Amino acid sequence: MKLKLEKIDEMNVLQVQEERIDAHNSAELKESILQFLEQGENRLFVQLSQVRFIDSSGLGALLSGYKNAVNRSGKLVLCNVQPQVLAMFELTRLNRVFEIYSDLNEAFAAQN
Amino acid sequence: MNAAQIQLDVIIPTQTKYLDLIGCIGERLGHGLDQFSGDREALAYHLNLVLTEATANAIKHANDSKPEETVRISIVIHDDELNIKVFDHGQGFDLEAVPAPDFNNPKENGMGIYFIKTLMDSVTYTRQGDCNVLEIKKRLV
């Protein structure tokens, strides 16, 4: 799975550089987020602008990351969620669990 | 029901790298369903999702000790209905026993069957001969 972790305005941003998150690559996403959190960072902005498809295992991987971040008194925030992907969060009511922002600027502004 | 317009049979190894292929077949078919009066973009995504979930489920339940195992996916499009069958050779599971997601206490697993049940019109899982068949139907008109 292609992931890019970078610092933008001193914030940790994880770019998911894949069109699909499914049972083939979701375990890797889950593990990568966990490894990041285990390094002591506890706030992560996940950029999903390139993702146009997500299945139940992909939602599960992000939910796992969210729970792990919260357990460490941190947070995992989603940005640039494409409409059809967002519809899956709505169908599972996970849009009530995650903080979801239209872009990074909006997400960063909401943290202050 | 009218005669089938399109019938497609795909056999893949029990490996998740083929989910993309199966899902994309569903999505392309969905885009071409001119008879569907609803949101065809949404239908295309839903077929991608349902085929991905059903195939992933069959791969998960396959017999791990037999790497030569395959999953067969059959898609038949009639004028008024789409019919998907996913055949696996695993132990099987009880479709009715799969609990609905608890939205107030979401879990990482168990949303796949919920997607299939919610987005399609009927779902059954039965034993047929030496395999299990997950049969999914979607009305198109």
pLDDT, one tens digit per residue, over B39-67 is: 999 999 999 999 999 999 999 887 666 76
Among A19, A56, A70, A85, which would you mutate to test the B interface (most chain B Cβ atoms within 10 Å of its Cβ)?
Answer: A56
Kindly report the nearest CA distance between residue B20 and chain A, in angstroms.
8
- Is residue A34 within 8 angstroms of chain B, CB to CB? no
- pLDDT, greater one: B3 or B78: B78
Torsion, Cα of A43, A49, A52, A53 (10° steps): -10
pLDDT at B1: 52
pLDDT at A98: 97
Confidence of residue B3 (pLDDT cuts 50, 70, 90): low
Instruction: Please list the residues that pair with A12 across neighbouring strands.
Output: A7
Q: Which domains, from first to last, does chain A contain? A: 28-33+41-99 (3.30.750.24)
Spatial CA neighbour of A90 closest among A81, A77, A102? A81
pLDDT at B141: 87
ipTM, 2 dp: 0.94
Calculate what percentage of chain B has a pLDDT beyond 70: 94
Kindly report the nearest CA distance between residue A104 and chain B, in angstroms.
25
Burial of B64 (0-12, 13-18, 19+ CB in 10 A): exposed
pLDDT at B5: 85
Contact B112 A57 (CB under 8 A): yes
To 5 degrees, how large is the angle CA B28–CA B46–CA A95?
135
- Among the partner-chain residues A24, A87, A92, the one whose CB lies closest to the CB of B16 is A24
Kindly report the nearest CA distance between residue A7 and chain B, in angstroms.
28
Beta-carbon-side half-sphere exposure of residue A64 (alpha carbons within 13 Å): 19
Kindly report the nearest CA distance between residue A109 and chain B, in angstroms.
28
- Is residue B53 within 8 angstroms of chain A, CB to CB? yes
Amino acid at B110: G
Beta carbons of A74 and A52 less than 8 angstroms apart: no
Confidence of residue B69 (pLDDT cuts 50, 70, 90): confident
Ordered mean pLDDT values, 10 residues apiece, chain A (112 residues): 94 97 98 94 95 98 97 96 97 97 96 79
In chain A, which among 64-103 make CB contacts under 8 A with chain B?
Answer: 64, 84, 87-88, 91-94, 96-97
pLDDT at B2: 59
Instruction: Please list the residues that pair with B82 across neighbouring strands.
Output: B77, B138
Q: What is the CATH number of domain B6-139?
A: 3.30.565.10
